[in-house]
A and B are shown apart, each in its own frame.
Chain A
Amino acid sequence: MRPVELPPRVEFTLENGLRVVAAQRRELPLVSLLFVTDAGSSRDPFGKAGLASLASELLLRGTKKRAPGEVTRAIEAVGGRIDAAADRDRAYVSVQALAEHLPLALEIVADVVSSPLFDPRETEAARRRQVAELEQSKDDPAAVARRNLLAAYLPPDHPYAAPVPGWTSSVSRIGRADLVDFHRTSVAPQTSFLVVVGDVDADEVRRLAENCFGDWKGPGHGGHLPPFPRRTRPKVRAIHKEESTQTQVRMVGPAELRWKDPIFFPAMVANVAFGGGFTSRLVNEIRVNRGLTYSVGTAFALLRGGGFFSFSSFTKNETVGELLSVLLQESRRARENGFEPDEIERAKRYLAGLYPLGLETNEQVAAAIAETILFDLGEDWVPRYRERVMAVTPMQAAEAAARFFFADPFALVLVGDRDAIRRGIEDAGIDAEIEDLPLDEAA
């Protein structure tokens, strides 16, 4: 295997505490900027879920020197693109542009993160838009299932319970003062960093960053998240949707796993062998052998306050029970017996082989650099990733399966026809607390 390297990077910290990383890649005259800040939805006050998401969207709708609309107009006029979004732990602003527009791109990012306007009319409009989008999402069974995943597992007041865009009820309660306050207390140079990748010169990035971000001040904050309670009994959240001919199926369980744990790589490999790869056991048993679905997948979500392992699929109403039975049976088999050596070997080669493909574009390289900063992964993380994958043994993968593949009571989210869901739970012999949630309360 030819080694995979990140481009050499220059790192510096501005006087206000903002960390900046510049990495030069000269193949195309493009640049990618990624600004990351500790302002994710887990900082939403209980009852105002959706605040971080709305705040991030409004960054692009006007600043103290740019009227609403002018931010996107300025960058799109030169063929660039700007996006802002939040996830559970963080908020992001990213720009893709021609390298010659680096000064404009940096200035705009600094402007939107340091002095957003939260214009009253724009704020109201954005809130109405977010509520409308949540209403519309009720028509998308996959979106409903996805957004209810952690809500089904966690108590409602846990900071990770609500979906990032919030609920229609919580978004309706958000006012301009909440947004201004959230931004003032959550977005600060000390808890943010900026990555710039592309056909740029590190000295120029430093000079521009000092100019644009130099005057920005803000109070730092400590991130604190309560641990989440484990369930003692499985739970099913059943969401009835009229006229469904297919049921969306999601399962989630806790996975106490961090990037730097020794079991991280065994867990990644075991996931590929179990449900992450196209020749995994679950794809084989559910899709290939039985034709029960078009799509099957499993994944880890490693959040700052704890990790989760989840399963995702869908099937016609008649076969919900069969799909669930296969899932439970295969989970038990993986936990108890692990995997065959050839399954692990294939999973390792697959993971290692695909790794360089995630490092092709400036955007991908910026994301990889951000990951190493966020999880304190060290300079050798990228170059040694493939070697660490290849060192995983079947025994280690079995241990990861035993720990993480729904070993503890899980939560199940089913979105579809009420009767099909009930029959499916019965057919699979699942003994669980069942919560029937009306579709109108599921978004």
Chain B
Amino acid sequence: MPASLARTLDSTRFPVIERRLDNGLQILLLPRRSVPAVNYTTFFRVGSRNEEPGRTGLAHFLEHMMFNGAEKYGPKEFDRTLESVGGTSNAYTSHDLTVYFEDFPSEALETVIDLESDRMRALALAEDLFESEREVVKEERRYRVDNDLFGTMEEALASLMFSTHPYRWPVIGWMEDLDASTRQDALRFFRTFYAPNNAVLVVVGDVDPERALGAIEAAYRDIPPGPPVPAVEAVEPEPTAERRTRVDFPSHAPALLLGYRALPATHPDTPVVEIIETALGAGDSSILMERLVYETELASDVHVSHDLRIDGSVFMVFADLPPGGDVSRVEGAIYEELSRIADEGLPAEALSRARSIVRASLLQSLAANGGIAHALGEHQVVFGDWREAFRVIDRYQAITPEDVRRVARELFRDANRSVVTVVPEAA
């Protein structure tokens, strides 16, 4: 590894201050003065995996409601107050986490602390706003899933891959559940999962650490802790055969989405899967881009992703085919490449290339306050220690061709695969 990189990616170069309040709230704070701005990110350990059938989409719906008024700052006041101090805010919900973040000029820190602690303490969930927000979420679903090729395919893939675990439903939820959810459901969900003991707050940027910590503690310390969060107990049975479906979607060209059940995010072999992901799909000179797009032209584009999840990650390969393209040939070519890795591991050159890319992307993500906050927070929530964000670099370094072979052989088994295709009717 280049020496400059080794020095930079050492966790001791990041003087993170850690605190835990009596109510369980964990705080990570990193002063950094590159620009006069601050990123303030709150991670809640809740996502669609914590939902119940019939009420899918509730975690994401509640994320929307978090912007619709609490006790001190009423409806519409969250964003108005934030924008009037020059800040901006957004949030996202995944299968495992719900994350809220603000970026703002340094002098707005106290306002942001006030806003965020207000909605953690006492969300209003006003009835009329709940109804209009329901329509907004349904529009989001129409946009992202119902009228979108990849969204439709991804939803079909989850239904194939999982039969028991909540990962079988989409984060945005089924349309009928969005219609069925009530304010009471949302309130119960909020009380269960949005307590300080289920949250990690990360502040990165131009702050005076002692003053910031004092203000945070004063604002959050009277928020009572919630009950222990119910564990997700569903265990997905091992797949015994390949699963396959053809989705009906009015499309001009065929498309293919493969999913393999991968390891839990905290599994020691997860970095090996990340290396395989990078070798296969990151950049135009990756294995699948070269083979499918440039050498054979079987596909016009390929995306490889590895969605890290607490109860079992999902490894996906998505290929866009040219009109009239042959899905089975694309599948065949992909399986050949995956089998090659399972049989032989990765050639030294490909392994070194993948290592260089994952290291460089980690470094790139550390160039902005928001990227640092995400790296620290995600690792704190998922691994229980933000330092894991840096330790992974040593893990990448230690991976051998034999590790790659062993992990790929288990991952790319036929029985571990689910396949979703879209083929235009005329074809």
Chain A interface (Cβ < 8 Å from any Cβ of B):
1-4, 27-30, 60, 68-69, 72-73, 76-81, 96-100, 125, 128-129, 131-133, 135-136, 138-142, 241-246, 277-279, 284, 287-295, 314-316, 345-347, 349-354, 356-357, 359-362
Contact = CB atoms under 8 A, between A and B. Distances in A.
A292 B294 contact: no
A215 B105 CA distance: 46
B253 A79 contact: no
B86 A350 contact: yes
Contacts of B148: 140
B326 interface: no
Given A68-B294, A291-B132, A349 B363 contact: no
B103 A354 contact: yes
Contacts of A96: 360, 364
Contacts of B87: 350, 353-354
Nearest to B137: A294
Contacts of A135: 252-253, 322-323
A69 B253 CA distance: 26
B36 A98 contact: no
A291 B135 CA distance: 5
Given A29-B5, A77-B353, A246-B147, A290 B139 contact: no
A243 B250 contact: yes
B356 A73 contact: no
A351 B321 CA distance: 42
Contact of B86 (A69, A97, A241, A354): A354
B104 A353 contact: yes
A277 B86 CA distance: 11
A322 B305 CA distance: 40
B76 A288 contact: yes
A69 B290 contact: yes
Contact of B88 (A142, A350, A360): A350
B8 interface: yes
A6 to B, nearest CB: 11
Bin chain B's interface residue count. Answer: 35 or more
Interface of B: 2, 4-5, 8, 34-37, 76, 79-80, 83-89, 103-108, 131-140, 142-143, 146-149, 206, 249-253, 282-286, 290, 293-294, 297, 300-301, 320-323, 349, 352-353, 355-357, 359-361, 363-364, 366-369
B39 to A, nearest CB: 9
Contact of B253 (A132, A245, A288): A132
Given A345-B84, A346-B83, A69 B252 contact: no
Given A292-B135, A294-B136, A360-B369, A314 B143 contact: yes
Given A135-B322, A278-B79, A2 B36 contact: yes
Contacts of B83: 277-279, 346-347, 349-350, 353
A167 B59 CA distance: 41
Nearest to B33: A2
A429 B162 CA distance: 49
Contact of B84 (A141, A291, A349, A359): A349
Contacts of A289: 132
B300 to A, nearest CB: 4
B88 A72 contact: no
B70 to A, nearest CB: 16
A4 B297 CA distance: 48
Most buried by B among A68, A69, A356: A356
A292 B134 CA distance: 10
Contacts of A241: 250
B143 A1 contact: no
Nearest to A60: B284
B253 A294 contact: no
A261 to B, nearest CB: 24
Contacts of A29: 2, 4-5, 8, 363
A361 B368 contact: yes
B37 A79 contact: no
Given A349-B83, A357-B35, A139 B143 contact: no
A245 B250 CA distance: 12
A357 B367 CA distance: 12
Contacts of A353: 83, 85-88, 104-105, 108
B294 A125 contact: yes
A30 B87 CA distance: 28
B143 A242 contact: no
A2 B34 CA distance: 12
B143 A295 contact: yes
A64 to B, nearest CB: 19
B255 to A, nearest CB: 8
A246 B360 contact: no
Nearest to B83: A350
Given A139-B251, A279-B79, A349-B84, A291 B363 contact: no
B35 A133 contact: no
B35 A349 contact: no
A293 B139 contact: yes
Given A99-B4, A140-B148, A291-B136, A72 B364 contact: no
A2 B106 contact: yes
Most buried by A among B89, B142, B357: B142
Contacts of A279: 76, 79-80, 83
Contacts of B361: 79
Nearest to B360: A79
Contacts of B294: 68-69, 125
Contacts of A295: 143
B300 A129 contact: yes
